[in-house]
Structure 1
């Protein structure tokens, strides 16, 4: 997961086109402290099919690889927020996000944020919600 966090947009496109390894799902889930099956479900993917890809060490589809990078961008956004507005010492952005995604959120209609990760528009909503939290406009 960490090897993907510092990539530039052009490099991300290349990785997605070549195929993001399905093992990235296990790495992300472990870093976020959530079960892989839960992360897969949040992404809107069939659990059994993705678990087969993980076991076979194969690549995700381009669409799924793109979603992986949207998730990585959320983790990076959170880390940047803490770097700018808080104390980053010992802070684990992936673990914080994993917890936040599971909690019911009043600003999102009392739905857990993870339920929005199955579309690009959902990721955009989550990113905007996080930005509002940092600015204090969070309701």
Structure 2
């Protein structure tokens, strides 16, 4: 995947994370995300993702492989750890990519939450807790976008 192919979904990722007001930054290219992830994203990003996507905090916690109690603690502390931040960015990148492919947020979320034979009969959302699972979902989205049987 080239840097150019990541720029467009990251624009939507900013929105999914609550925008510049929550991030206190306006990342425009992949490299802009590295210092944000390393310092830890504001915990308000979790609330933004829940609000904007309509998924529950429980579903988000499962998709990120972060215990709900840890997310609650991070909200009190004000920031996610770098590892948790990387997981959240991975999650919003996939959601943003699905929205681009399906050209509709509701259709994208329905697809992410529905069992799919192309990803082993599980929900794409359930695979986002690992990098390889997220890559598989992104690959499937690419095949859908290009009209290849997915």
Q: Same fold (TM over 0.5)?
A: yes
Change (3 A) 1:6 1:81: farther
Residues 1:15 and 2:36 are matched in the alignment: yes
CA contact (8 A) 2:50 2:60 kept: yes
Which residue of structure 1 aligns with residue 10 of structure 2? none
Quick check: 1:109 aligned with 2:120?
Answer: yes
Larger RCO of the pair (alpha carbons < 8 Å, separation 6+): 1
Q: Which position in structure 2 is the counterpart of 1:30? A: 51
Runs of 5+ unmatched residues, structure 2: 1-13
In the TM superposition, what is the alpha-carbon distance from 1:129 to its structure 2 partner? 0.7
Question: Which of the numbers 60, 78, 97 marks the counterpart of 2:98?
Answer: 78
Measure how far apart 1:138 and its partner are: 2.8
1:61 aligns with 2:81: yes
CA distance in 2, matches of 1:100, 1:25: 21
TM-score relative to the length of structure 1:
0.80
1:97 and 2:117 are equivalent in the alignment:
no
Q: Is the 8 A contact 1:23 1:57 kept in 2?
A: no
1:18 shift after superposition: 1.6
Mapping of residues 41-60 of structure 1, within 5 Å: 41-54=62-75, 56-60=76-80
User: Is 1:134 the equivalent of 2:145?
Assistant: yes
Looking at structure 1, the residues matched to 113 and 99 of structure 2 have their Cα atoms a distance apart, in angstroms, of 18
Q: Can you list the C-alpha shifts for 1:78-137, whole angstroms capped at 9, x where unaligned?
A: 34435xxxxx5xx33xx4333222111111121111111111111111100111111121
CA distance in 2 between counterparts of 1:102 and 1:69 reads: 18
Q: Does structure 1 residue 121 correspond to structure 2 residue 132?
A: yes
How many pairs does the alignment contain? 129
Distance (Å, rounded) in 1 between the aligned partners of 2:139 and 2:28: 22
Residues 131/6 of structure 1: CA separation in 2 closer, same or farther (3 Å cut): farther
